[in-house]
Structure 1
């Protein structure tokens, strides 16, 4: 199978929550093309949803070491920030998330994670400002519609996701 086909298959499996298969397809793609940022991103997302936060962080850091244009780079910066939030490494998360926002300020997702990191660091005003910016960018967002689908994810991931949702709700995100 060619690297292009494996890359597409990796992306498809990750997007459809077929995580075990995605791990294999993404790894096979990376065997053929170790610099495939898309495969690294999908592998990292898969690892996060399986509760393998350290592995995900390592994957996103690996992607960041490549000399990739910023237009692609922001995705794994966001991923590394997300992994750090899941690991409770909020100070480290700030750096990654701020770098992602500097490249692509209009997604809102990074702002929501930034709000969580700020709140856990005791920086409530910054947290509320970050959430306000996220809601401006993503009007209609609620705790129930911002998360990825829960099918096939690990309980470790679900527990951390709920913790993040609770913090965002405390900061003013509508529960939905």
Structure 2
């Protein structure tokens, strides 16, 4: 509601679009989320916040099983804000899925250096009110992250 209201007077608000995209992801509406993140990317918004929807687009692609399409989005996210760690961890999952094991492990190591203490238990969004589609897709992605070196606990 708040994001929709914000967009009613500021349709280029990247932060509002990012939050709408996150909600769509948790509802299992991955295509809708991808569209929302791409819409945010088309707007000329502050460079510093762009990494969020670039990460979101990469994540949506990964959740849809289209991991190779996630790569350029995640690379752009890292280029925009290299200190997040989240983008590196998702990119590590993409590399792991593609069988690029050495790259996956190196990228996960980089992500863990930026986000020490991250585990499979605390990396994701809240599962409260999340759709079963989201939960299943997220579990698959986290399994790739674990295989790339994300600690389980």
Counterpart of 1:148 in structure 2 is 125
How far apart are residue 165 of structure 1 and its match? 1.5
The two structures have a TM-score, normalised by structure 1, of: 0.83
How far apart are residue 31 of structure 1 and its match? 2.5
- Give unpaired runs (5+ residues) of structure 1: 1-23
The two structures have a TM-score, normalised by structure 2, of: 0.95
- Give unpaired runs (5+ residues) of structure 2: none
Q: Aligned-residue CA RMSD in angstroms?
A: 1.1
Counterpart of 2:91 in structure 1 is 114
Match of 1:68 among 33, 36, 45: 45
Match of 1:49 among 15, 26, 45: 26
Counterpart of 1:90 in structure 2 is 67
**Greater Rg by CA:** 1
SS of residue in 1 equivalent to 2:122: coil
Cα contact 2:94–2:144 (8 A) shared by 1: no
Find the aligned partners of 1:113 and 1:55 in 2 and give their Cα distance. Answer: 20
Counterpart of 2:36 in structure 1 is 59
How far apart are residue 151 of structure 1 and its match? 0.5
Greater relative CO (CA pairs within 8 A, separation 6+)? 2
Find the aligned partners of 1:173 and 1:113 in 2 and give their Cα distance. Answer: 11
Counterpart of 1:7 in structure 2 is none
